[in-house]
A and B are shown apart, each in its own frame.
Chain A
Amino acid sequence: TQLLEQSPQFLSIQEGENLTVYCNSSSVFSSLQWYRQEPGEGPVLLVTVVTGGEVKKLKRLTFQFGDARKDSSLHITAAQPGDTGLYLCAGVPGTYKYIFGTGTRLKVLA
């Protein structure tokens, strides 16, 4: 059973396009994190969302936490080749331990 589902699994887009990545669970999260991982490196924390309905912006990246705190989305505006990487969501669903989603692998073509 996958407690944290991410979609899509793979995404290949042209530079300048917009995209949205989703992270879903049937359980409530106390908080949720988004990470980006580049090849050969460990994941790097991008943001933490805590409150239902919360929206956070990091330059061209917009993170939203669902009102019920069971889902989250990451929207990238005008994607650039530097955005290429594996995007991971993570959190504690219900009474489980801290877990990661399987990730969305993004490739932005110049």
Chain B
Amino acid sequence: DAGITQSPRHKVTETGTPVTLRCHQTENHRYMYWYRQDPGHGLRLIHYSYGVKDTDKGEVSDGYSVSRSKTEDFLLTLESATSSQTSVYFCANSPRENTEAFFGQGTRLTVV
């Protein structure tokens, strides 16, 4: 168990507001990821991090930014939430790149 904690678990927000989702790991894994999961699309990578202050874009990064100021924390920010960003967001970590990932329990975000 890689000890991923996501907060909040549920959030409802209004269109146009900024939202930050938090991911905390108790392990010292170098790689951390943010995914969104939507019906018919599966899990899609938003952003990932390969170290403190080292991040890169995934396949659906528009409208999202991330920060990693400490090994254990990886933040996902929706700069101005839109209804299309209503989704379930998962954080994951991994000790090595492009291999097994360990997931948190997810954050269900609804943008109204």
A100 contacts B98, C-beta separation under 8 Å: no
A45 contacts B106, C-beta separation under 8 Å: no
User: A21 to nearest B CB, angstroms?
Assistant: 14
Choose one: A42, A48, A103; the contact of B100 (CB below 8 Å): A48
Q: Which residues of B are found within 8 Å of A44, using beta-carbon distances?
A: 103
Interface residue A43 (Cβ < 8 Å from any Cβ of B) = yes
Stretch at the interface among A58-66, A76-84, A91-99: A91-99
- Interface positions, chain B 42-59, Cβ under 8 Å from A, are 42-45, 48, 58-59
Interface residue B70 (Cβ < 8 Å from any Cβ of A) = no
Complex: A31 Cα to B99 Cα, angstroms: 7
Choose one: A33, A40, A42, A101; the contact of B99 (CB below 8 Å): A33
A98 contacts B106, C-beta separation under 8 Å: no
A43 contacts B98, C-beta separation under 8 Å: no
Interface residue A102 (Cβ < 8 Å from any Cβ of B) = yes
B105 contacts A42, C-beta separation under 8 Å: yes
Q: Which residues of B are found within 8 Å of A30, using beta-carbon distances?
A: 98
Interface residue A106 (Cβ < 8 Å from any Cβ of B) = no
User: A15 to nearest B CB, angstroms?
Assistant: 26
- Interface positions, chain B 17-52, Cβ under 8 Å from A, are 33, 35, 40-45, 48
Choose one: B44, B98, B106; the contact of A42 (CB below 8 Å): B106
Complex: A57 Cα to B44 Cα, angstroms: 28
B42 contacts A42, C-beta separation under 8 Å: no
Binding site for B on A (CB under 8 A): 30-31, 33, 40-45, 48, 88, 90-92, 97-103
Ranked 6 nearest A-B pairs via Cβ: A42-B103, A102-B42, A100-B43, A92-B98, A98-B98, A100-B42
